[in-house]
């Protein structure tokens, strides 16, 4: 489990971006599984990287990121964490790692052993590391029919269709598809995991999921902070590669797929591939791109002010686009994606907007009071249905309310697992349902590669927008052109927050 180099002494600009990296995501997820008893007995966690560190150095590095309400859990977990230094592209460097694994397995005679390799690495070194593991780290201490070896790889899975296929070929030549787990943490989110149950277990919803009842679907990912300190990394990819081609496409597939024959990993992924194959290649005219600039009133810098971002950068930090699915269920229904950094709010959600009623009997504009099913991933996980009702009182006035399932209100005291925690456990169990299969990856890259090349060549306009705003006006105009109607004067608020606001002070 490779570790990033130690942080420099420079301080990032506030507000800080969300943390990433094994010490900030992977190790805390492992700690949570450990304290709940989900890790197999006698599990060992071995870090492998190029940095010069001892076991104690590793534990000191991890300590600030590990929190637990269980007394002694952090110290017990750290006691199973060790470290080995080595090169990624030198097979001989892996001999100490293999020796450590064999020594650990030797202490568990006659018990099956599993080896999970988690690649928190740049994709360019995946083939070298796979070759070294294949050559040095696949032999267990003793044969057992239940021994296993699995590999988790993180995005980005390539840069475009060609590089993705090249990477898949190189890794596929060394390990079969059943061994490779391409992690997309959005598939580990609670609301993504609920998508299938919501769609296929409710008779009042499934018949409505088609072109006869739905006007448009909007999939939204908004962050209220910029790249603060990560601009050099982000600039290599841009918002389409970083968020849309992977996270939002996986969400789209879960919304739009047909019911699988069975709820099994390959049957589910078969249906996701079918719907991805039906999506037309994204056209430049169906896309609006933007890049944020400084907002002096808020005291926030522009994207190009971030260290590591070149002054002539054309990497988009904002995108609104329209995808079209050519099949019987969804023909004519635009799937609108919106993703951006340094916007006016932080949220990730799916908004399914239904057709307007034919005519209103109550003096309201039918287009401005549409029903919507909203699946909110973050913050404040929720599923709610916007509906029209009579305002209480003596007058006949129509208003908008909602049927509301806010997780924090309905499931009080229930802990929602972190996505990485859930996905690592799935991998240990050998469940690939929430991991990306190679043909899924191929189809997602097919949809975006032509427009990505056009962006790289400067053939797609880039609009400017100020930090902390809603983004370029052209983005909202594109969504409106495709039939999305924004409900003015209505803002969803979790029930608990409404009660808090109404309470006497």
Q: Which are the catalytic amino acids?
A: 247
Angle between helices 265-277 and 249-256 (to 10 degrees): 100
Q: Strand, coil or helix: what is 13?
A: coil
Q: Map tokens 């787990």 to a residue.
A: 181
Neighbours of 229 (CB within 10 A): 19
Query: In the numeric block, which tokens belong to residue 444?
Result: 């997602």
Asked if residue 185 lies in contact with residue 420, where contact means CB atoms within 8 angstroms, the answer is: yes
Asked if residue 402 lies in contact with residue 495, where contact means CB atoms within 8 angstroms, the answer is: no
The DSSP H or E segment spanning 292 is strand 287-293
CB-count burial class (<10 Å; 0-12, 13-18, 19+) for 487? middle
**How far, CA to CA in Å, does 505 sit from each of 138, 358, 496, 499, 502?**
64, 45, 16, 12, 9
Query: In the numeric block, which tokens belong to residue 438?
Result: 């190679």
Angle, vertex CA 206, rays to CA 204 and CA 210, nearest 5: 120
C-alpha 455/C-alpha 313 separation (Å) is 11
The DSSP H or E segment spanning 55 is helix 55-62
């Amino acid at each position: 489990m490779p570790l990033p180099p130690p942080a420099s002494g420079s301080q990032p600009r506030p507000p800080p971006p969300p943390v990433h990296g094994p010490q900030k995501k992977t190790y805390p997820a492992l700690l949570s599984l450990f304290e709940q008893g989900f890790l197999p007995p006698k599990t060992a966690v071995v870090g492998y990287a190029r940095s010069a560190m001892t076991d104690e150095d590793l534990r000191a590095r991890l300590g600030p990121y590990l929190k637990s309400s269980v007394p002694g859990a952090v110290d017990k977990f750290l006691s199973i964490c060790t470290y080995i230094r080595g090169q990624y592209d030198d097979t001989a460097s892996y001999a100490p790692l293999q020796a450590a694994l064999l020594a650990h397995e030797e202490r568990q005679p006659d018990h099956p052993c599993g080896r999970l390799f988690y690649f928190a690495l740049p994709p360019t070194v995946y083939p070298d590391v796979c070759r070294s593991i294949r050559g040095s780290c696949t032999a267990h201490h003793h044969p057992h029919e239940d021994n296993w070896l699995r590999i988790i790889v993180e995005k980005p899975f390539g840069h475009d269709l060609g590089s993705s296929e090249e990477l898949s070929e190189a890794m596929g030549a060394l390990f079969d598809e059943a061994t490779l787990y391409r992690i997309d943490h959005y598939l580990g989110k609670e609301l993504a995991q609920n998508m299938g149950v919501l769609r296929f277990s409710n008779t009042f919803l499934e018949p409505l999921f088609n072109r006869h009842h739905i006007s448009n679907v909007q999939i939204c990912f908004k962050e209220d902070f910029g790249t603060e300190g990560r601009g050099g990394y982000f600039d290599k990819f841009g918002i389409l590669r970083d968020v849309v081609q992977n996270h939002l496409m996986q969400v789209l597939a879960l919304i739009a797929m047909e019911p699988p024959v069975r709820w099994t990993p390959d049957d589910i992924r078969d249906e996701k591939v079918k719907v991805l194959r039906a999506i037309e290649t994204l056209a430049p005219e169906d896309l609006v791109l933007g890049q944020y600039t400084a907002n002096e009133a808020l005291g926030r810098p522009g994207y190009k002010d971030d260290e590591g971002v070149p002054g002539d950068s054309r990497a988009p930090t904002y995108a609104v686009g329209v995808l079209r699915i050519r099949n019987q269920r969804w023909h004519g229904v635009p799937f609108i994606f919106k993703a951006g950094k340094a916007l006016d709010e932080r949220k990730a959600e799916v908004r399914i907007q239904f057709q307007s009623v034919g005519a209103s009997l109550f003096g309201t504009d039918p287009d401005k009071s549409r029903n919507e099913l909203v699946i909110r991933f973050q913050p404040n996980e929720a599923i709610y249905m916007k509906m029209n009702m009579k305002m209480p009182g003596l007058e006949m006035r129509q208003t908008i309310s909602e049927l509301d399932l806010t997780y924090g209100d309905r499931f009080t005291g229930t802990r929602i697992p972190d996505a990485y925690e859930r996905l690592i456990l799935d991998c240990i169990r050998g469940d690939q349902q929430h991991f990306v299969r190679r043909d899924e990856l191929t189809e997602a890259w097919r949809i975006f590669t032509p427009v990505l090349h056009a962006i790289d060549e400067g053939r797609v306009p880039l609009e400017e927008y100020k930090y902390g705003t809603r983004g370029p006006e052209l983005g909202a105009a594109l969504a409106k052109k495709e039939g999305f109607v924004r409900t003015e004067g209505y803002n969803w608020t979790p029930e608990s927050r409404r009660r808090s606001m109404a309470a006497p002070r």
